[in-house]
Structure 1
Amino acid sequence: MNAPAQKIAVVTGAGSGIGRSVALALAAAGWTVAVAGRRLEPLEATAAAAEAAGAVGADAGRPAVLPVRADVSDPADVAALFGTVRERYGRLDLLFNNAGTFGPAGVPLEDLTYEAWKQVVDVNLTGAFLCAQAAFRQMKEQDPQGGRIINNGSISAHVPRPHSVAYTATKHAVTGLTKSLSLDGRPYRIACGQIDIGNAATEMTERMQTGILQANGQLAVEPVMDAADVARTVVHMAGLPLEANVQFATVMATTMPYIGRG
């Protein structure tokens, strides 16, 4: 079976943080990347950064990063995103299911509104499912058949933080999604793995450096790591042959309170 000459990826939540770092690392490694998010301007900034770094994609020498505005919680947007990739490139080799939201910070469980709960579930779980479903369909139908889906889990897929019920519940559910995709993808050469990330330095973790609530009720500053360290791990997972898979990987700031949390 001949491998495609150029590998095509979709990265969601790619306008900032981990998504942007992963998109740039994939482009530097020779991938063509469609970057998705709710706002076009940050996606265009990601594409410009890749172009400035000299990354060139598969599409007639054009930049390696293609911005596509899409809200992953909207089925129509997701269909349009993957339709664009299919029409432009003809195949899909990788989905990095990264888009996510923590929801309102520091809200006790009994005060969390239905609307806030639903927003986190819609993005973190339903959005991940919709994108995985669209990618799965494309990977199953294309020739050569197959591809890889990498879900962004979290340390919270293992252990919760205080006042994080919506985020923690969705990240535990993402682990179930990963396992189901791995099983259902076996007949079609679709591999699925999950990267669980702890305290990458992004906009979402800025509060770690000013003090965040711990299980003992105290506030503590937590160490963070460079998002580029996460990106290198995703590139490694993405670059494996489909006969090999990193099922679960945990990448975290070495001394963050995960081992011993609680």
Structure 2
Amino acid sequence: MSTYQPPSAGEIRVAAITGAGSGIGRAAAQALLARGWRLALLGRRAEALEETAAPAPERCLLLPTDVADETQVRDAFARLRERFGRLDLLFNNAGMGAPACDIDQLSVAQWRRVVDVNLTGSFLCAREAFALMKAQRPRGGRIVNNGSISAHAPRPGSVAYTSTKHAITGLTKTLALDGRAHDIACGQLDIGNAETPLTAGFAAGMPQANGQIAAEPVMDVEHAALALVYMAELPLSANVPFMTVMATKMPYIGRG
């Protein structure tokens, strides 16, 4: 017997999505909108958030936010609470990388910016979501962190990005453990080579562990969005701690 429970007719569910202005965040947001969710969309560019919300703007709250800024994150979640009254899902999706290079060529400023967005940003948003989910009635909710394939295996020259994504796994495990007492589930979605503007150059070739440059296959970003929807709509009595969805032939299994 399946534990999958799609929303019942008339049921209102609320999600917050970071990095919602493009790529995986936009695809996930629009997949949830298609299933009737209300959304708080967080991203740095208001115009990009408007484009994401276009299929159902009346069900969206646009929150231009730098997730690395504690005050902006706190204010965004206060506005979310004022508008919707509760939160059922946080998708911690916002992320960035640094130019590919050896560690001695990476500036401390570049390192800190990647850590601030990918790790501290996820912490700040999870902290606000956790507090809201603990206090609301009925209590509980779900947090899904975007881990990336780099949470398991690095690409060459990616010390900052890969370090943060490994740290996201620790954040996921800790939230999954600490959330039990409050009916808060936490899982991690590791995505490989979803077709977005960030992967536009993959067909031209990417550095490989053996030093070669090789083209890499990509998959439709919709597959990543549907994976998120599946995790989001499970009952809180079930959880997917870790899910990997990737282009079948990308160089991950056996990388290196």
Q: TM-score range by the shorter chain?
A: over 0.9
Partner of 1:64: 59
Partner of 1:121: 115
- Mapped partners of 2:198, 2:66: distance in 1: 18
- Mapped partners of 1:139, 1:129: distance in 2: 15
Q: Give matches, 1:8-87, under 5 Å.
A: 8-48=14-54, 50-51=55-56, 63-87=58-82
Are 2:178 and 1:178 equivalent residues in the alignment?
A: no
TM-score relative to the length of structure 1: 0.93
Partner of 1:132: 126
Partner of 2:153: 159
Partner of 1:98: 93
Among 231, 234, 240, the alignment partner of 2:225 is 231
Q: Please state whether the residue corresponding to 1:34 is helix, strand or coil.
A: strand
Q: 1:65 Cα deviation (Å)? A: 2.2
Write the deviation string for residues 173-192 of structure 1: whole angstroms up to 9, x where unpaired: 00000000001100000000
Q: 1:165 Cα deviation (Å)? A: 0.3
- Mapped partners of 2:38, 2:61: distance in 1: 8
Q: 1:208 Cα deviation (Å)? A: 1.2
Write the deviation string for residues 109-151 of structure 1: whole angstroms up to 9, x where unpaired: 2100001000100000000000000000000000000000000
Among 202, 224, 230, the alignment partner of 2:196 is 202
Q: Please state whether the residue corresponding to 1:63 is helix, strand or coil.
A: helix
Q: Give matches, 1:251-262, under 5 Å.
A: 251-262=245-256
Q: Please state whether the residue corresponding to 1:14 is helix, strand or coil.
A: coil
- Mapped partners of 2:145, 2:30: distance in 1: 18
Contact 2:139 2:183 in 1 (8 A): yes
Partner of 1:59: none
Contact 2:61 2:80 in 1 (8 A): no
Query: Which structure 2 segments of 5+ residues have no match?
Result: 1-7
Query: Which structure 1 segments of 5+ residues have no match?
Result: 52-61
| Aligned length, in residue pairs | 248
TM-score relative to the length of structure 2: 0.95
Among 194, 203, 219, the alignment partner of 2:213 is 219
Write the deviation string for residues 163-215 of structure 1: whole angstroms up to 9, x where unpaired: 00000000000000000000110000000000000000112212212111001
